[in-house]
Structure 1
Amino acid sequence: MIRTQEQILARFKAITDSGTDWMGFRREVLIDSMTLDTLKRALPDVNTNGRDDYVKPEALEGKARDYLTFAIGKAVDHRGISAGRSVDKLREYAWLLGRDDVVQAMEDAEYEQYGVPKLKAFATGLGWPWPADGDGWREKALSRMAEGLPCDPDCADGCA
């Protein structure tokens, strides 16, 4: 069940108060899912000029799918900060979709190899296909990384 605006506001406040979202990536996903009313309650001084919409519940899954594709690219390309940001954002998408089981599976998965095990936990937990099938280098690298292995045994880009 997709989270309500009240739940989103409460989570936003809890994350803000905890100080654990130091770069704001988790809150960014939540803000994008807030109505203008909820956003003004979360951030009373925010400038809402030009913002006339938010990610509606029916569009949330599609947004998460698109972001997973982006996240996989960052991980396979060894983009450390971007890969970490992607994991944080996908965790919030899972939460917004009401999938605490997926949030927990992501928490339980190792971060090694740029978070690919967490990305796989996200995709498979939602019943989505894991795009590591195929003969290409990228698919093979993704499959290896999901198992906690380097993309290539001789990787010189940081995952060996």
Structure 2
Amino acid sequence: MKTDDQILERIAYVEKKVDPIGFATSDLIFRLGYKAGKQFLKSDVTEKEYNTKLKWSKNKNDIIKEMKEYLSFAFQKATDERGISANRSLLHYQNWFWLIGDQDFADSIFKDFSNYGLEKLKEIEKKLKTMKEKDNES
């Protein structure tokens, strides 16, 4: 599980090098603890509100579940040739794979964006199925 400091470093990297518009940082911001994430929140958000309504899990299995649930939406954006939306989908997956500790796969996500990322989504789908099998074995 990534620490708040690691996530803050990743946010700075993503904002500068990957996604200057800021589409992908929410995948990271809402996994921070309240004190680390407060700088990104509206000033009236309380710690209780953040922890009960806004904060997302950093648990690997929860993130894998999130990736699986998002996959059909991502495929739809790619097959409909929705360039910005398809790109955003892959930004999500890049952050999610980074969060679960698969830096190499996260780094490979944008090496080929042909067909609106459809081929990469197929790789992601295959990888998620493999993860499911491994999760069931343990």
Q: TM-score, normalised by structure 2?
A: 0.75
Structure 2 unaligned regions, length at least 5 = 133-138
Distance (Å, rounded) in 2 between the aligned partners of 1:43 and 1:116 = 32
Are positions 1:57 and 2:58 aligned together?
A: yes
CA spacing shift, 1:46–1:73, aligned 2, 3 Å: farther
Question: In 2, are the aligned partners of 1:75 and 1:114 still within 8 Å (CA)?
Answer: yes
Distance (Å, rounded) in 1 between the aligned partners of 2:126 and 2:108 = 10
Identify the residue that residue 10 of structure 1 maps to in structure 2.
9
CA drift of 1:68 comes to 2.1
Question: 1:48 is matched by which residue type in structure 2?
Answer: V
Question: In 2, are the aligned partners of 1:94 and 1:103 still within 8 Å (CA)?
Answer: yes
Aligned residues: 125
Question: In 1, are the aligned partners of 2:14 and 2:20 still within 8 Å (CA)?
Answer: no
Distance (Å, rounded) in 2 between the aligned partners of 1:46 and 1:86 = 29
Question: 1:27 is matched by which residue type in structure 2?
Answer: T
2:37 to 18, 39, 44: 39
Q: SS of the residue aligned with 1:30?
A: helix
Question: In 2, are the aligned partners of 1:71 and 1:86 still within 8 Å (CA)?
Answer: yes
Identify the residue that residue 72 of structure 1 maps to in structure 2.
75
CA drift of 1:47 comes to 4.5
Are positions 1:24 and 2:27 aligned together?
A: no
Rg larger in 1 or in 2? 1
Q: SS of the residue aligned with 1:25?
A: coil
Provide the alpha-carbon RMSD of the alignment: 2.4
What's the % identity of the aligned pairs? 28
Q: Name the structure with the higher helix share.
A: 2
Distance (Å, rounded) in 2 between the aligned partners of 1:46 and 1:70 = 32
CA drift of 1:37 comes to 1.7
Q: TM-score, normalised by structure 1?
A: 0.66
Distance (Å, rounded) in 2 between the aligned partners of 1:69 and 1:3 = 27
Identify the residue that residue 122 of structure 1 maps to in structure 2.
124
CA spacing shift, 1:25–1:46, aligned 2, 3 Å: farther
Question: 1:7 is matched by which residue type in structure 2?
Answer: Q
Question: In 2, are the aligned partners of 1:102 and 1:125 still within 8 Å (CA)?
Answer: no
Distance (Å, rounded) in 2 between the aligned partners of 1:22 and 1:66 = 26
Distance (Å, rounded) in 1 between the aligned partners of 2:85 and 2:41 = 29
Distance (Å, rounded) in 1 between the aligned partners of 2:125 and 2:37 = 29
CA spacing shift, 1:44–1:82, aligned 2, 3 Å: closer
